[in-house]
């Protein structure tokens, strides 16, 4: 078997603007396409099916392309508008649309992190070393039972 020898030729000059690695498949027109896609109520992840790429690639582009990240944020807001309009139509039975409230609620919770009610945090400052166990239990019981 022949032994490989290193070439003594100088390395080729790289053209200006050349970067190492595989070129990206990202295209600037994806920003507007993403906004339009999401404005129809569709998810960010499903956009990969439109442009034939996987979800991981979409998330890499978010980190690498600030314009794509901005397009996602705008698309999310437009998606919210779409779904809120669907809710209004279903609420008032506009255009004969029948809304399943449970499905709609779960959709909004999962897509937009809706919550049934805001969580409230209570802070109580006490010097526990100066309280008896009974006094401490009474303070905790009162804090838990106070109406909001």
Reported as a single tens digit per residue, the pLDDT across 66-123 is 999 999 999 999 999 999 998 888 877 766 667 888 888 888 998 888 877 766 676 7
Longest dimension (CA), the chain: 89
Closest by Cα among 39, 28, 115 to 76: 39
User: Measured between alpha carbons, how far is 62 from 44 in angstroms, rounded to an integer?
Assistant: 11
Confidence of residue 26 (pLDDT cuts 50, 70, 90): very high
Domain ranges of the chain: 30-145
pTM, two decimals, is 0.62
Three-state SS letters, 19-82 = CCCCCCCCCCCHHHHHHHHHHCCCCCCCHHHHHCCCHHHHHHHHHHCHHHHHHHHHHHHHHHHH
Quote the pLDDT of residue 60. 94
Please give the span between the terminal C-alpha atoms of the chain, in angstroms, as a whole number. Answer: 84
């Amino acid at each position: 078997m022949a032994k490989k020898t290193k070439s003594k030729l100088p390395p080729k000059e790289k053209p200006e603007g050349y970067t190492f690695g595989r070129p990206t498949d990202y295209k600037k027109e994806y920003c507007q396409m993403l906004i339009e896609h999401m404005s129809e109520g569709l998810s960010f992840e499903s956009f990969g099916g439109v442009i034939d790429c996987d979800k991981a690639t979409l998330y890499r582009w978010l980190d690498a392309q600030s314009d794509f990240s901005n397009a996602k944020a705008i698309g999310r807001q437009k998606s919210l508008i779409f779904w809120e309009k669907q809710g209004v139509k279903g609420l008032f039975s506009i255009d004969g649309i029948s809304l399943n409230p449970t499905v709609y609620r779960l959709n909004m919770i999962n897509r937009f992190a809706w919550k049934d009610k805001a969580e409230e945090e209570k802070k109580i400052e006490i010097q526990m070393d100066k309280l008896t166990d009974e006094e401490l239990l009474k303070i905790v019981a009162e804090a838990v039972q106070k109406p909001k």
